[in-house]
Amino acid sequence: MSFADFAAFRRTLPAPPPLARTSRTLRGLPFALYHTPAVPGTVPLVCTNGGLIYDHRLLWPALSPLAERRQLWFWDQRGRGRTPAPPGLRAARFTHDIGDLAALIAALAESLGSPVDTFGHSWGAGMTLAASAQAAAQVRRTALANCVGPTGAWRATLLANARRRLDDARRAAFDEALATLDADGSIAAHSAYSRALYPAWFFDPTFADVFQPPVATSETGAVVATHLYREGYDVTAHVRGYDRPALFVHGADDILPPAESQAMAALVRQPHVMLVADCGHLPFWERPRPFFETVETFLGAP
């Protein structure tokens, strides 16, 4: 799908519904939450963005087509968006985000009086799967897009794939940003790296001329990302044996190899895997029709 096709698809949709903001204290921090209007008789969907240094705006209004049939909930991770930084933010880790999301799932399920569905993209997909396993009693189904793998072993492959996809000028900017990031874990370095990498996420380069990530300002996110990049991670034990139906959608041409989603899928008991052809890391932009049709069918199942 070209960007012109994407624009035509979005024009067929109603205007995104309003997104209301609220707050809930979890594990000692007041988390910023956002939700669309309730849809009676349906299961709410708790959505988690990736990016590590960004807030919920990476997924809104991108996921607005899903709000036609269910209520969507978004949240800003600790120290990102409107959620304040934790005390001693230099100690912030990815495992804290997983625990926060598990607490949010449990709290929302209790207040809504029913289990919830969960959704995550990229880093947020790995977080979502681990947190959903931790709060499995409160989860009905889990949908994941372009999920990271069980361990951080994929990053070297991603960086090599990114360099091959970028043109000469963008590759030079990317190499410079990566070299700076390797020596400097500040939010400025992470933001510059993310912006230099961003064009490589798309299979169709015309999308990179239109979309740019938002400006990132989260020092907490930079701390979390720095430790993950330098030390790696392993969520295998967190997700192994997860027994709720889990959908893994992955762009077949993502620089994050589809094999990473497949490796995650191999750990759970009820996996459903779909590779989307001619698609990179952001299927809700590049291939919205098959992406939303697949997710809707999966979430609509009893």
In this prediction, residue 236 has a pLDDT band, given cuts at 50, 70 and 90, of: very high
Beta strands 72-75; 29-35: pairing state: antiparallel
What's the pLDDT tens digit per position in 59-87? Answer: 999 999 999 999 999 999 999 999 999 99
What's the pLDDT tens digit per position in 279-291? Answer: 999 999 999 999 9
pLDDT at 5 (0 to 100): 84
pLDDT at 4 (0 to 100): 83
Return the C-alpha torsion angle 112, 114, 20, 11, nearest 10.
Answer: -160
Cβ distance 21 to 33 under 8 Å?
Answer: yes
pLDDT at 250 (0 to 100): 98
**Residues 67, 71, 77, 81, CA torsion sign:** positive
Q: What is the largest CA-CA distance in the chain?
A: 54
What's the pLDDT tens digit per position in 30-56? Answer: 999 999 999 999 999 999 999 999 999
User: What is the rounded distance in angstroms from the CA atom of residue 82 to the CA atom of residue 54?
Assistant: 11
Rounded average pLDDT over 203-207: 94
Q: Is the pLDDT of residue 202 over 80?
A: yes
Residue in 234, 275, 242 with CA at minimum distance from that of residue 256: 275
pLDDT at 150 (0 to 100): 98
User: What is the rounded distance in angstroms from the CA atom of residue 137 to the CA atom of residue 142?
Assistant: 13
User: What is the rounded distance in angstroms from the CA atom of residue 117 to the CA atom of residue 151?
Assistant: 24
Q: Is the pLDDT of residue 8 over 90?
A: no
47: three-class secondary structure by DSSP: strand
pLDDT at 126 (0 to 100): 98
In this prediction, residue 110 has a pLDDT band, given cuts at 50, 70 and 90, of: very high
Percent of the chain exceeding pLDDT 70 equals: 100
